[in-house]
A and B are shown apart, each in its own frame.
Chain A
Amino acid sequence: MAAPDRDETLRATLVRGLSRRRTSLGVTVGPSAIWIVLLLVAPLAFMTAVSFASIDSVTFDIVWEPTVNNYYNLVAGGTSEYSLGPLVYKATAFEKAVLLSYAIATVATVLCLVFAFPLAYVLARLDDRMFKIVIYLVLLPFFTMYLVRAYSWRLMFGQSGVLNQVLGAVGVGPVGAFEFGILAIIVGLTHAYFPYMLITLYASLDGLDFSLIEAARDLGASRVDIVKDHIIPLTLPGIVGGCLFVFVPSVGAFITPQILGQGKVQMIGILIEQRAIGEATNAATASAASMAVVVSIVVAMFLVFRYVNLDELGGV
């Protein structure tokens, strides 16, 4: 009868241990803290260090001599000329990728907001039965593999994509805009992150007191006034949070520009990938580019979190 006895003592020890605050704190905080330090803080610190080092061009080893060359090269390295309509400007590949990523992400975010808001509003006003059906139709794409959704637009766009096939069938020749490129990427990103925006907006519209709106209407406010004066201010945390959930992953997107840009559009995610494992491998450059993007996102988030609390954003 030794085994049960040992079980009992083990249990007693456990119980005694867990009753002590210090032990229970260690047990609950400890494991994740170790994980976060070893797998998040250390890699980011290492990447920061590498971004200030340089790479031996022969052995590919890291040379630990502090330098800011990697950052300097990002903004002042080999520039080439790009034209945007009549404008011609000089920029490095990094500068161009950052500008392009931020521009594309901004457009995708605005589109998501404009497209998702009416649907989220309708969703918050539907009765239970219809709500279940519509939310199912929204959540299914949300849970569907990101890659499948990017691939679905790969079928739609392109010289011989579904869009051009349909246009061809009605006699309008292949339209250049429906080839792979920036438009395809914007549509792909909007589609990819639309559910994030929708669900965040819905969460904040759902908490809205609609009797306020009815009161405003009874007092003669127009629909536009109500949206402007009541709905938008009351759902601002949701709007800001939703924009964040679309904007940040759009800036760093890789799959969508890779599949829907077909190599023609170099967003920052692709640039980093190429420096990390692709054609132009250089760990120091990749690290510096990554850190620059991280810093820009942290600054953006810092500004945003002055207005919204992370807890209000839910489990998305």
Chain B
Amino acid sequence: MATERGGSTEPAEQTSQEYTDRLFSHQRIESLLGNGLYAFAALMLVFLWLPLLIIVFLSFAQSPNLLPFEGFTLGNYQGITGEPGLRSSVVASFSIATLSAIIATVLGVLSSFALTRYQFPLREVYRTFGIIPMIVPGVILGVGLRFYFLTVGIDPSFFATVLTHSLYGLPFVLLIVSARLYTFDESLEEAARDLGADPLTTFRDITFPVIAPAIGAGFLFAWVRSFEDYIRALFVSGVTTDPLTQWMFGKITKASAENLNVLNVVSTLIVLAIAIALAVAMNYGNVTGYVAGTGDEEE
């Protein structure tokens, strides 16, 4: 860690006064730069967090204005139980996210095996198209699927949203699971086969336990992406399905004091739920590895 301390190159003997002066001023600049780096990094964390903390703070405030501050209350939290449409939109979002993430996971795991284990024509094209749903801007994927669904006779609905999100979730599963399979030691499978296990048993007892965390991470990614999606669902969900994001968006565009109070509470609950889920997940597995793709050596 010599870089951080800056002056690890202490001379063995300090004969020249001039040399010492130069070294100390150099050291001071180095430490200033080093501290500046850490201060800047801390400032960036504040940038990430400040708006979220203000939401949490305001969710306990009597009025949704920070200033003049009118005191704390838990009334906002009691208020949301009677909010029309909130419960059904949470249920809708949960159902859509769960169903589409299941489909995305099954498809993603199968195609990860295909990509890592077999050679076949158009393999690179297949892989690229497997990743495109994640890259295409949401507006365009939503508009394209809307026109297409209407033409082939699928009306904007719950079903159409599940189909859309299952496509959107596929790349996340594909990337995470295939990264794991690339590093999987196939000699383990060969050993099992040599000892007489059939392919199904080998998969159940050897392969699956090894890649299970990656499958779980892929599922969670696909689930979260579906749950937080607004723009794709906007085009394909129709008037009968109202996911949470659309319910919230409606409140944001009609920003009365009451609506802001409700939104602050719902947002705070979402941040809280994610904070807990993330803490559990990080305690359980190598979340950073899956997010940043930085190898599996930490598992």
A residues with a Cβ closer than 8 A to B are 11, 14-15, 18-19, 21, 24-25, 27-33, 35-36, 39-44, 46-47, 50, 115-116, 118-119, 121-123, 125, 132, 134-149, 151-156, 160, 162, 165-166, 168-169, 191, 194-195, 199-200, 202-203, 206-207, 210, 213-214, 217-218, 223, 248-249, 251-255, 259, 269, 272-273, 276-277, 283, 286-287, 290, 293-294, 297, 301, 310-316
Contacts and interface: CB of A to CB of B under 8 A. Distances in A.
A298 to B, nearest CB: 10
Given A46-B147, A214-B2, A310-B131, 12 more contacts: A28-B110, A29-B118, A32-B108, A46-B151, A119-B45, A139-B278, A139-B282, A147-B248, A149-B51, A151-B263, A223-B33, A272-B143
Interface string B144-178: 11111001000000000001101100101011100
A189 to B, nearest CB: 13
B58 A203 contact: no
Contacts of A136: 278-279, 282
Contact of A25 (B64, B120, B230): B120
B114 A28 contact: yes
B80 interface: no
Interface string B96-128: 000000000011101101100110100000101
A135 B288 contact: yes
B292 A213 contact: no
Contacts of A27: 110
Contacts of B252: 147, 151, 154, 259
A140 B274 contact: yes
B137 A251 contact: yes
Nearest to A301: B135
B65 interface: yes
B51 A156 contact: yes
A19 B55 contact: no
B213 interface: no
Contacts of A165: 65-67
A125 B55 contact: no
A157 B65 CA distance: 12
B274 A143 contact: yes
Contacts of A191: 47-48, 51
B95 interface: no
B114 to A, nearest CB: 4
A145 B262 CA distance: 16
Contacts of B74: none
B277 to A, nearest CB: 8
A237 to B, nearest CB: 12
Contacts of B106: 31
B45 A139 contact: no
A43 B148 contact: yes
B293 interface: yes
Given A152-B55, A315-B176, A207 B294 contact: yes
Interface stretch (B16-24, B184-192, B221-229): B221-229
B163 to A, nearest CB: 6
12 contacts: A18-B200, A28-B111, A28-B117, A36-B170, A43-B147, A141-B49, A141-B52, A147-B252, A149-B52, A253-B137, A290-B140, A316-B292
B139 A19 contact: no
Contacts of B4: 125
Nearest to A262: B253
Contacts of B271: 140, 144, 148
A19 B40 contact: no
Contact of B291 (A141, A152, A199): A199
B140 A252 contact: yes
Contacts of B64: 155
B249 interface: yes
B290 interface: yes
B54 A162 contact: yes
A276 B146 contact: yes
Interface in B35-75: 37-38, 40-41, 44-45, 47-49, 51-52, 54-55, 58, 64-67
B245 to A, nearest CB: 5
Contacts of B129: 36, 40-41
Given A32-B111, A138-B45, A146-B230, A206 B292 contact: yes
B292 A138 contact: no
B120 A139 contact: no
Contacts of B227: 145
A266 to B, nearest CB: 13
A35 B292 contact: no
- Of the candidates A132, A154, A253, the one having the most CB atoms from chain B within 10 angstroms of its own CB is A154
B12 interface: no
B54 A152 contact: yes
Contact of A137 (B49, B138, B260, B277): B49
A293 B49 CA distance: 33
